[in-house]
Structure 1
Amino acid sequence: MPGLIAAATSATDKRIAFRLGLASGSIQRLPGAINPLTAKLIQEIGFEGAYVSGGAFSASMGLPDIGLTTLTEVATHSAQIARVTDLPVLVDADTGFGEPMSAARTVTVLEDCGVAGLHLEDQVNPKRCGHLDGKAIVSTDEMVRRLRAAVSARRDPNFVICARTDAAGIDGIDAAVDRAKSYAAAGADLIFTEALHTEADFEKFRAAVDIPLLANMTEFGKSQLIPAQTLEDIGYNAVIYPVTTLRLAMGAIESGLREIHATGTQSGMVPRMQTRSRLYELLEYERYNEFDSGIFNFTIGEART
């Protein structure tokens, strides 16, 4: 039964779909998937892709977003998410987890995980959250080496390599534009400029750079929260909502735990919970039941001598 235990769509087809989406003129919306179940919901609701946020993943491990997670941890988590969805999955690969050779290895490892692409950033390794102050970035030449190593390691030409620059918040938008052009020349398929502030900033960047662009709409950061349609009208090709699902979940979890602690029961919150039947629907329990009965309903005849 295709699409039951794992997605029916191959990694290659997901990558092709992502590239076609980026070239379609319609913005590709990628909410953060904090686990495989969330990825299934993202697909069911009708988004174009899913995103694996480094910040959300490190937070889920009880760690700050300062480069403490490893390639192995990120790859394992990303593979679990990509396995269950027919959507393309874009992964935050930080700085590539080391020097240019490490960035090259990161591409091969994440290709093997079945994701559609990754982004590499120009921060100094180890990095920090893109919406914090005090970031440091490597030279343009060093980031170009990082990207060239990544591109050279790519085996599937449809695997998307996105270059993120944090230069706007340090050296200004013009410097970020210059870097974006250098990164595109180095082989980046998509540019992600972190921590632009206003709609006018996004418009200025779009006017200056002629390859696909990704916008980051994260809450409580430096960027104005701009609707997807407005970003599409400006000319952006993709938008991520990296930590939104984690914040929604943790807000509800904290509220619920405090209520249980105060009252000794969760009974007042039951109407706000996902029901058992809805969870089973999302997990496709009925299809598993059909699969089981289809496999194990045979009988063994008498052996012939």
Structure 2
Amino acid sequence: MTEGNFVDYVKMHVASGNGGKGSAHLHREKYIQKGGPDGGDGGRGGHIIIKGNANLWTLIHLKFKRHIKAGHGAHGSSGRSTGADGEDAIIEVPLGTVVRDTETNDILFEITEDGEEKIVAEGGKGGRGNWHFKSSTNQTPRYAQPGIPLEEKEITLELKVLADVGLVGFPNAGKSTLLSVLTSAKPKIADYEFTTLKPNLGIVKYRDYQSFVMADIPGIIEGAAEGKGLGYYFLRHIERNSILLFLIPADAKDIVEQYNILVDELRRYNPEMLDKERFVVISKSDMLDDELKSEISTILDEDLEADYMFISSVAQQGLTELKDKLWQMLNE
């Protein structure tokens, strides 16, 4: 999936259908001049339904569909015939989609399961026909109920990427390179910061035809939890990952400090993210000789509050061991 095709934020206007009018018909036949009321009910207006689809990875199919309308309910007719219900409008979304009310920014619901359906705007109920209103004192009511009007809403769809492993790190830490080596994904790779502006997903193939999903999240900067850079857009994608894989380059000035800054940004954005399993990889370690690795390991053993591993995506060092470790963590 190319970066331009990854759409994770869509605003739209939705309108359900009007309920159909009830009929005020009075029964008439050749030899029945003054029959009783037989007006049928109006049909229900169509709902606007959000439905989860596990085969979708992005909201790009909704990028240019900013107005969604459901069908109106048909009016009731004679013979107590109920009008047809309006056609529902179904909006299919990838799993991990959050639906918000645009005006209040309140979360209405989240879609996390394939086939899960939620009504975001209910169709109006159909009006009752006049036969409901007949009584001993009013045997020929000449009125019926109108249908209930449609419901309109401005909604925002936000996609939070669902993945087994999320790559977390500062810009230019080597996340995209690692994803490109472990999976068939083709993220943009360059030697400048913020090469990645949208998440990239890749499937890591493991032994015995097993696999797991890895997400390359755009780089975090200090202050992202306060919205610096594109902090909110980046951080919300990390919420849906089972394991957080922290990538810190071997040439960083202070590996422990970088890790602590990243953890602090996650904590300030959402403290619950610290409950996820974490693992640290020191990337670009092909630049280190054995003596330097030993020195860094001594420091990390004392000060780093997480397990770690040295890898090199370019030199293909430690990648098999990394996949083994991640698979073990996912299946514990």
Q: TM-score, normalised by structure 1?
A: 0.32
Greater share of residues in strand: 2
Bigger Cα Rg: 2
Which of structures 1 and 2 has the larger relative contact order (alpha carbons within 8 angstroms, sep 6+)? 1
Q: Which has the higher helix share?
A: 1
